[in-house]
Structure 1
Amino acid sequence: MPALANRFRAQASEIFQAGVIAADPRLAVQRHLQTDGERLFLGLRSGNWRHIHLIGFGKAACAMTDVAQEIIPHAWLAEKGIVVTNYDNVDLVKNCQVFGAGHPLPDASGLHAAKTVAGRLAQAQAGELVLVMVSGGGSALLPYPAESLTLADKITTTRALLACGADIRQINCVRKHLSRLKGGGLAKLAAPADLHTLILSDVLGDDLSAIASGPTVPDDSTYADAIAILDSFGIGRQIPLAVQSHLQQGAQGLHPETPKSGDPLFIRTSHALIGGNTISVEAALRRAAELGYQTQLYSTQLCGEASAVAEEWALKAKALITEIREPVALIAGGETTVTLQGSGKGGRNQELALAFAISAERIGFCKGWTLLSGGSDGRDGPTDAAGAIVDGGTLTRIRAAGLDPAARLADNDSYPALQAADDLLITGATGTNVADLQILLLHPNE
């Protein structure tokens, strides 16, 4: 690969890393949690709690909970804290019981962890504080099915939702109505204790009811909404009969709805949004400027089918490169989706990157660009890659390895194609999760 191409790829990686660092969960917690030795300060809220239950779940749970228990005097903590995270991010946390669990599909370890959390919440009393650390991935990591459902029912339903192209809000709306903890369920179990949540957002627009399926905040979606989502994607009859029956009974008022806005349950609850994708995008823009690029914010809401998003972006980039004289960095944040049509291996970021390269070639946009698309958590779909870095030579390298890029894309098999081109972005688990980042570098003179 030419030295110049390597330099541009290195710069794209550096800009991406700046965005990941900006989502550092330890720093985020430190900014929002302090004590003067007498009172605990939770943003604008404070109290002199002397019995604090510490619970963290999500991909950043270890780091968030670790720094929280460093700040809070040990004598104020009720018992060992409980931490639930994905297997890649499992780490030792002092004074805490740490559980590894499955993601993106829930597993038995997650169910055991969820029951442990529920058991702790049942012990919380009035005048005590339940301090919860929530980060992306929490929905899958803490599965506790409604009484009439099994873990297998939730796994099958989640798999169908992930495959059909539903976005995170739609997926979580359904999951809330199959769960004891999601959609305000955790807050219900914590009552009558005080409850405060520190939230690291992986959801575009920072909708608190969608982050980890909103376990500690009101949920204004309904059973009817969940049914409508399943029907809109044509999977209403593909999910287990027990799930279909549960949702229908809920819509008929035979199961209680999730707690809504205005419910007295939330009088003693509060929350703080301590980080999210927008903050990471801003950090990426700053680093790109420091590297000498003119910067443009392409989108903070990049969503939709990955291949369609890639094609639209390629067309806009080709038009832009004819108008600029100096290098430009276009930065985006978001979370695209993939509707599975094939049986290959990949993730939404890899699919977006490969689709961009194919679209660029088709429209004659073959030089002067480098695109990185990666997940801030270091994992893109069920792979060990965070995403990919592609450029004008990507398709040539794939074909030199004897692979057909278009055929691989059609089979949702981007991973082996990008691996053959040495274009996979491998970062390992980052310990945070604030959705995806995209960096498109344009060099009009190259």
Structure 2
Amino acid sequence: MGTVRKLRADALRIFEAGLAAVDGAESVRRAVLRKGDDVLISAFDAELRVNLSEHDRLFLVGGGKAGAVMAEALVESLGEDAISAGAITVPLGSERPDIPECIEVFGATHPLPSDSAVEGVRRMLELAEGASERDLVFFLLSGGASSMLPLPADGITLADKVETTKQLLASGATIDEINAIRKHISAIKGGQFLLAARPARVISLIISDVIGDRLESVGSGPTVRDTTTFADCLEIVRRYRLSRRLPASVMKRLRDGARGKFSGPEDMPDKVFERCDNVIVSNNDVALVACQEAAESLGYATANLGSRVFGEAREVAKVMVGIAQSCQARGYPARPPCCIISGGELTVTITGDGVGGRNQEFALAAALHLSGTDGIVVLSAGTDGIDGSSDAAGAIVDGGTAARGAYEGMEITDYLARNDSFSYLDAIGDTIVTGRTGTNVMDIRLVMVDV
């Protein structure tokens, strides 16, 4: 038990190090440096230079789970005097008092869009449409923006978008597939914000929450060319048997678009994108490397499996437990004590009516396969602090999780069948609760192994 307690404590410390590395405010501060009128924007392989004296006005717009702290940090980096006006959408309750009054803040909900967020997007477009060739627009984008930057296309209501999102989330579709449909029923996604902003210069600062950092999928790419089509959307509908579950207005738009009755975001001309730069300032890999460094500082050998792990949470849990057992038995891919690190984003096909999310589903499934074993601890948590429909970020489990639940009269298989992972894990104290973190770079999974 002493070994398990230490593994659990170290796993939490390593997770916290990963979170700190991708803090939304710090990510912007690292990337944006102003000296006089010169602004250097540098992150990963990107480097941009902007001279503020060449621009008459500077607008700040955007949205996402890190929207408030990103805006606060950008104002700090550029100076409040540099900002002419702005509008951002942020999670309800995360409004920041240090954001200047010239930036309007609109509360938004996630994962389902809200009326207040629609109002915020309309204000952003008003500012963009009033921008001239000598104006500069900063667009701050982070995970969650697909639901927090809603503006339904003609013929689609907000209620239609809400129902579409519900059905897509429950279907087991990947985030790329979900966002493909979102873009084709939206008036801002898929690069369409740039239609309003032309001819102003636009710089997007992006915290990526998608596998492979595909820019068109982060927040459904309001400043990025879309490569999906209406035909792709209909294929996604067919794949997940959604044609009778999506609103009639949505199906009509997708079918009419596929027939060529009107153009989609993918048909926008190249000139729309000529004055836009998209810069990733943080991503899942940054968090995983920080976890790796923290684990090694604590004396663990590490194996970083990277940020491209995907699949059904329960199935991936089997694989990760198998890797842990291989470490114990054969010292491969790492010799204990070791920490196996992975990121990315898993999916859950919902068949029950319980409370939980992909991280807790993964953890509870892992606990089922760990039952009775010693020396292995599994942590899985979302970097945004919210996992699915619960108030937890994720969970941390070990070989005794099943026994602790059984003592309370609970069986893991019953709770998995209901997609009710939170209720099980919370009852035995295995959930991780962080509150909103001010960032979102997908998930962190840690498998701690000792002999």
Contact 1:327 1:441 in 2 (8 A): yes
Q: Measured at CA, do residues 70 and 50 of structure 1 come closer, stay the same or move farther in structure 2, by a change above 3 Å? A: farther
Contact 1:374 1:437 in 2 (8 A): yes
In the TM superposition, 1:60-209 aligns within 5 A as 60-79=66-85, 81-92=86-97, 93-95=99-101, 96-209=103-216
The structural deviation recorded for 1:39 is 3.0
Q: Give the aligned partner of residue 270 of structure 2.
A: 263
Deviations 1:162-193 (A, max 9, x none): 00111111100000000011000111111111
The structural deviation recorded for 1:27 is 2.0
Distance 1:12 1:339 in 2: 28
Please identify, of 116-125 and 326-335, the stretch whose mean Cα deviation from structure 2 is larger.
116-125
The structural deviation recorded for 1:60 is 0.7
Distance 2:315 2:414 in 1: 16
Matched, 1:17 2:11: no
Q: Give the aligned partner of residue 367 of structure 1.
A: 374
The structural deviation recorded for 1:67 is 1.3
Matched, 1:287 2:294: yes
Contact 2:4 2:375 in 1 (8 A): no
Matching residue within 281, 290, 296 for 1:274: 281
- Which amino acid is 1:153 matched to? D
- Which amino acid is 1:349 matched to? N
In the TM superposition, 1:35-46 aligns within 5 A as 35-42=34-41, 43-46=47-50
- What is the root-mean-square deviation of aligned Cα atoms in Å? 1.5
Distance 1:442 1:5 in 2: 9
TM-score, with length taken from structure 1: 0.95
What is the SS of the residue equivalent to 1:309?
helix
Contact 1:122 1:189 in 2 (8 A): yes
Q: Percent identity?
A: 38
Q: Give the aligned partner of residue 6 of structure 1.
A: 5
Distance 1:74 1:422 in 2: 44
- Which amino acid is 1:65 matched to? A
The structural deviation recorded for 1:310 is 0.4
Deviations 1:206-231 (A, max 9, x none): 00000000100111111111111111
- Which amino acid is 2:170 matched to? A
What is the SS of the residue equivalent to 2:414?
helix
Contact 1:145 1:154 in 2 (8 A): yes
Distance 1:147 1:372 in 2: 44
Contact 2:320 2:447 in 1 (8 A): no
- Which amino acid is 1:122 matched to? E
The structural deviation recorded for 1:245 is 0.3
Q: Give the aligned partner of residue 386 of structure 1.
A: 393
The structural deviation recorded for 1:436 is 0.2
Contact 1:315 1:360 in 2 (8 A): no
Distance 1:51 1:72 in 2: 13
The structural deviation recorded for 1:156 is 0.5
Distance 1:414 1:341 in 2: 13
Distance 1:51 1:208 in 2: 26
What is the SS of the residue equivalent to 1:286?
helix
The structural deviation recorded for 1:30 is 1.8
Deviations 1:67-119 (A, max 9, x none): 1112224343222x212111253322223222111101111121121222122
Matched, 1:57 2:73: no
Matched, 1:343 2:350: no
What is the SS of the residue equivalent to 2:307?
strand
Distance 1:412 1:38 in 2: 54
The structural deviation recorded for 1:239 is 0.2
Distance 1:137 1:395 in 2: 33
Q: Give the aligned partner of residue 305 of structure 1.
A: 312
Distance 1:21 1:262 in 2: 40
Please identify, of 88-97 and 267-276, the stretch whose mean Cα deviation from structure 2 is larger.
88-97
Q: Measured at CA, do residues 194 and 141 of structure 1 come closer, stay the same or move farther in structure 2, by a change above 3 Å? A: same
Please identify, of 212-221 and 26-35, the stretch whose mean Cα deviation from structure 2 is larger.
26-35
Distance 1:88 1:329 in 2: 35
In the TM superposition, 1:233-244 aligns within 5 A as 233-244=240-251
Q: Measured at CA, do residues 302 and 261 of structure 1 come closer, stay the same or move farther in structure 2, by a change above 3 Å? A: farther
- Aligned length in residues: 439
Distance 1:356 1:119 in 2: 49
In the TM superposition, 1:293-332 aligns within 5 A as 293-324=300-331, 326-332=336-342
Contact 2:381 2:445 in 1 (8 A): yes
Contact 2:108 2:114 in 1 (8 A): yes
The structural deviation recorded for 1:8 is 1.8
Please identify, of 288-297 and 248-257, the stretch whose mean Cα deviation from structure 2 is larger.
248-257
Q: Which runs of 5+ in 2 are unaligned?
A: 42-46
Q: Which runs of 5+ in 1 are unaligned?
A: none
Deviations 1:373-412 (A, max 9, x none): 0000100001110000000110111111111111101110
Q: Measured at CA, do residues 74 and 421 of structure 1 come closer, stay the same or move farther in structure 2, by a change above 3 Å? A: closer
TM-score, with length taken from structure 2: 0.94
The structural deviation recorded for 1:33 is 1.7
Distance 2:80 2:68 in 1: 17
